[in-house]
Chain A
Amino acid sequence: MKLYGKLLISIMIVFLLSGCWDRKELSEIKLVSGMAVDRGDDGKYKVTVEALNAAELNSRTSGGNAPALVETIEGETLSEISHQFSQYYAQYLVFSHMKLLVIGEDVARTGMIDFIDYLERNRELRDDFKILIAKDTKASDVLKVTNLYRKSSSLKLSTQLENMFQDWGGDPDMRINDFINDITLEGKEAILNAVVVQGDKKVGATVENMNNVTPEAIVLVDSLAVFDKKKLVGFLPIEDTRVYLWITNKFQNTTLTVQCGDDEYSAVRIIHSTTDVQTKMDGVIPEFNINIKAEGYIEGTQCFKALDKIETFQKYEDLVSKEASEKIKSTVEKMQNEYGLDIFGFGEMMRRQHNDQFAKIKDDWNKYFSEAKVNVDFEFILRRTGIRSDSFLDEVEK
């Protein structure tokens, strides 16, 4: 018995030494932080990848070189292309820390977003990267613009979008799971943020771009892209993202400007808000009742100086409620009349609340959506006025 034990152990040692299959040393990998997909000239897709130079991103070890390497390859499938990048890069590309996906306008307009299956199925890619549409420019150009914040373009953009969502409501906070859900659901259409590159793209791709106080080129979050199933059909101004967030109850914070007099405006910061949407069928026309309750405080005013009176507060509340509900209504109507696409998910809400009725009309939902009645009930409570009560303009006018 002892004999066989020793044999067994020697065999096991050989077996264990035969190789560690999944091993990748840190010096052998390169992290990819952003991917851009354009329409290819020869192949179906042209994929650009931004791979980080880790040494440059650490202030101690940086040598003033470019923070990332951006290269492009054409091909039919994203998967093969992502492994083909060994044509350019010395190291393995690791996609698990990817922060940004940019889809070119040409790809989106022709509905060629089938490549998203690869993004969903792959075990390396997670759910946390932001998705953008590149408007009026190639998607690869978006990745090439350097920026002083974290040096690389995708790192800057992903943090920027996160903050935009929190602070002003300018980003619809779309991830791959949400995007796929929206495409496949019958009562909702997908939207994504769109960016443009402003300035000189050639200089933007160099380190000199980071030396100016106002960079030569910068990526700007410009508008909201609207999809009809898989195809991109148009763009909405960025202010409408707030309406989208409001209706889908993802709203965080924003600042609303209201006109309180002739050429006089006030700014109100809205900080907490909950939305409740009730849908019902009024005969053959759907009806949406949107109830929003919000609260906030005044950030700056050019009129209504007597801010210590309750009446002033009530005046502001009325103003904000009116302004906000008008904005919401006008955006929804714009979607109904110009595009005829339900990006807000009213169909989804109807499916949840009145599934049987929705089941009858779900095939033509967008048509029903265009004719629906929308009622907005915006209730705003003004809580405080910052650290001053009356405005000094009171004194000046006197």
Chain B
Amino acid sequence: MKKFLKKLLSINSKKQIPSNTKPTKAEEIEMKEISFETVKDEIKRIFGNTADLKADDVLVGKSEAIIFYLDTVINTDFLKDMLGQTLESPVEQDFKITSEEELRAFGKKAFGVSGYKLINTISEMTETILEGRIAVVIKGIPAALTISFINSEGRTVSEPTTQTVVRGPKDAFVEDISTNINLIRKRIKNHNLQFEKFKVGNETRTSVYVGSIKGVVNEKILEEVRKRIKDINISAVFESANIEELIQDKSATVFPLALNTERPDSVCSALLDGKIAIITDGTPFILLVPAVLTDFFISSEDNYQNYFMSSFIRMIRYLSFMIGLLMPSAYVGVLTFHPELLPTTLLLSVIAQREGVPFPAVIEVFIMEITFEILREAGVRMPRAVGQTVSIVGALVIGQAAAEAGIISNIMVIIVAITAIANFVFPNYSFANASRLIRFVLIIVASILGLYGVLLVLIFMVAHLSSLRSFGVPYLAPVAPFIVEDQKDIFIRTPIWFQNKRPAYLSPSSTDKQKPQGSPSPPKQTKGGSGD
């Protein structure tokens, strides 16, 4: 019986196919073992017959040499200039490079400024060629000189697409990793800002930099981050989201456990609070760990507006989170189970509107919600030219038409529209997605047990949130466990001269940001009086 059930419920496992779970590396062959003539063939064999591998014969002094490079990765104009000036000019000079030390000296003289390296193995040469360097192999010397000529083509720094602000810097990260680190370094001109480099992904060998500020960050968390990144064993990494999934704490949850952002100023302020930035090559989104729930409600613009205004907007954000989560389920719950909770005139008006609507409230809500989700996805994926047609306004028009046709009631359109708009208040897209999912669960429960079920699921959700940890930091800090000093930036934004300490839940190495100071006050009048 058990066996039968097991067979029924288990998925057929396919035959095992040998898989490649180790990083793709060329074989480790020492250069001394290959002769000069065969090195070209060796490299060509490793790279296959790829059309962009160039192996040119040049003369360095009097020695023959071959340079290897991938012309799609190299800045070829720059290469031609450089070669013209440095490699080929000593052709009049009568020197030959006969040993590794001479090669090193030559490299220092000619390319000292541009960054040169000597390598000894074929696999290293393959790696360096892939990274955008040229490899110069000179006849008779079992070492190669590599110089970086990388071509950083890519998007130029422009406005962020996801987290826009009204007042504040409008540059955003791009796909190229050096530009990104440039943007960070420009803002934090501090020698304590350190970056550690990792290569992640067996097939893609993507560079990942882990940035932190020494003396501020909690060393234990940094160690944990290092360990987890080193343990990543996956074939491809294209986006920081892949890394996020692999390094976050093991728990089944819809809530994001790491903050991702496109804005340099967010990253910098997080770094200064003691967080760790994980920068991935090929994506403008940077991960910030450890993340807590309240981080997802903060936008960097809060710091650039008046603190009364920012506190008010923060409250609106929390309120819209609750509205986006609860409104459809409250509608279903109240109307089907507890009509006595509405004031009489409102209830009469709702009944009048719902007369003639063929579906029960739950089905109505589901139809509208799913239509909205479809419209929203379509609006995101649609090509720019056509995209504007399918916007919230379009959705409202469809809703209006459906209401006129008698399929749904007018009040449903309002509720779904308010919910959708409340959802867009979030600065962070991944978090908004979590609340979208929970909203559906709440609607289902509301249709079975009314408001009682909604309350139960809410309590369950809070309990679930309390049990999450992000790199050891409780997800609901500093609300629970309640840390009094950290309340300065959670529900309201206190003035910047009042926020003297870094958040305690991160246990940073140094807690004070600035000296306690009062608010700026006008200069005191001297006894002599004004108008001297």
Q: Which of B278-300 contact A (CB under 8 A)?
A: none
Does B347 lie within 8 Å of A31, measured CB to CB? Answer: yes
Taking CB atoms, residues of chain A closer than 8 Å to B481 are: none
Instruction: Encode A4-22 as 1/0 by CB contact (under 8 A) with B.
Output: 0011000000001000101
Main secondary structure of the interface of B (DSSP, over half): helix
Q: Which of B328-362 contact A (CB under 8 A)?
A: 335-337, 339-340, 344, 347-355, 357, 360-361
Number of A-B residue pairs having CB atoms within 8 Å of each other in the complex: 71
Closest to A24 in B: B336
A97 to B350, CA, bound (A): 14
Contact among B2, B335, B344 with A26 in the assembled complex (CB-CB below 8 Å): B335
Does A3 lie within 8 Å of B352, measured CB to CB? Answer: no
- Chain B binder among A34-42, A53-61, A250-258: A53-61
Closest chain-A Cβ to B66's Cβ sits at a distance in Å of 59
Closest chain-B Cβ to A83's Cβ sits at a distance in Å of 17
Does A27 lie within 8 Å of B354, measured CB to CB? Answer: yes
Does B353 lie within 8 Å of A58, measured CB to CB? Answer: yes
Does A97 lie within 8 Å of B344, measured CB to CB? Answer: yes
> Is A52 in the interface zone, CB < 8 Å from B?
yes
Closest chain-B Cβ to A323's Cβ sits at a distance in Å of 40
> Is B447 in the interface zone, CB < 8 Å from A?
yes
Does B348 lie within 8 Å of A26, measured CB to CB? Answer: no
Does B337 lie within 8 Å of A54, measured CB to CB? Answer: no
A27 to B354, CA, bound (A): 7
A109 to B336, CA, bound (A): 41
Does A97 lie within 8 Å of B5, measured CB to CB? Answer: no
> Is A263 in the interface zone, CB < 8 Å from B?
no
> Is A361 in the interface zone, CB < 8 Å from B?
no
A284 to B524, CA, bound (A): 79
Indicate whether A94 sits within 8 Å of B354 (C-beta atoms), given known contacts A3-B5, A20-B448: no
A304 to B272, CA, bound (A): 81
> Is B449 in the interface zone, CB < 8 Å from A?
yes
Closest to A29 in B: B339
Contact among A6, A20, A94 with B447 in the assembled complex (CB-CB below 8 Å): A20
> Is B6 in the interface zone, CB < 8 Å from A?
yes
A178 to B450, CA, bound (A): 32
Does B349 lie within 8 Å of A96, measured CB to CB? Answer: no
A38 to B115, CA, bound (A): 104
Does A52 lie within 8 Å of B348, measured CB to CB? Answer: yes
A31 to B349, CA, bound (A): 12
Does A23 lie within 8 Å of B351, measured CB to CB? Answer: no
Taking CB atoms, residues of chain A closer than 8 Å to B480 are: none
Closest to B360 in A: A25
Indicate whether A96 sits within 8 Å of B351 (C-beta atoms), given known contacts A3-B6, A20-B449: no
Does A54 lie within 8 Å of B352, measured CB to CB? Answer: yes
> Is B484 in the interface zone, CB < 8 Å from A?
no
Taking CB atoms, residues of chain B closer than 8 Å to A126 are: 340
Does B348 lie within 8 Å of A3, measured CB to CB? Answer: no
Taking CB atoms, residues of chain A closer than 8 Å to B450 are: 22
Indicate whether A96 sits within 8 Å of B337 (C-beta atoms), given known contacts A26-B351, A27-B355: no
Indicate whether A25 sits within 8 Å of B336 (C-beta atoms), given known contacts A3-B6, A20-B447: yes
Q: Which of A113-146 contact B (CB under 8 A)?
A: 124, 126
> Is B9 in the interface zone, CB < 8 Å from A?
yes
Q: Which of B350-376 contact A (CB under 8 A)?
A: 350-355, 357, 360-361
A60 to B9, CA, bound (A): 56
A6 to B2, CA, bound (A): 13
> Is A99 in the interface zone, CB < 8 Å from B?
yes
Closest to A23 in B: B336
A97 to B338, CA, bound (A): 12
Contact among B9, B353, B360, B361 with A6 in the assembled complex (CB-CB below 8 Å): B9
Taking CB atoms, residues of chain B closer than 8 Å to A61 are: 352-353, 355
A70 to B487, CA, bound (A): 59
Taking CB atoms, residues of chain B closer than 8 Å to A55 are: 351-352, 355
Taking CB atoms, residues of chain A closer than 8 Å to B337 are: 22-24
A390 to B80, CA, bound (A): 107
A30 to B170, CA, bound (A): 57
A126 to B336, CA, bound (A): 19
Interface centre among A20, A26, A52, A126 (most CB of B within 10 A): A26
Taking CB atoms, residues of chain A closer than 8 Å to B360 are: 25
Closest chain-A Cβ to B202's Cβ sits at a distance in Å of 29
Contact among B2, B339, B348, B350 with A96 in the assembled complex (CB-CB below 8 Å): B339
Does A26 lie within 8 Å of B354, measured CB to CB? Answer: yes
Q: Which of A57-82 contact B (CB under 8 A)?
A: 57-58, 60-61
Q: Taking beta carbons and an 8 Å cutoff, which residues of B are in contact with A? A: 2, 5-6, 9, 335-337, 339-340, 344, 347-355, 357, 360-361, 447-450
User: 11 additional contacts, CB 8 Å, given A7-B5, A124-B340?
Assistant: A6-B9, A20-B449, A25-B336, A25-B360, A26-B335, A26-B339, A58-B348, A58-B352, A58-B353, A94-B339, A97-B340
List 12 interface pairs A-B (beta carbons < 8 Å), by A numbering. A7-B5, A22-B450, A25-B361, A26-B335, A26-B361, A31-B339, A54-B352, A55-B351, A57-B352, A94-B340, A96-B340, A126-B340
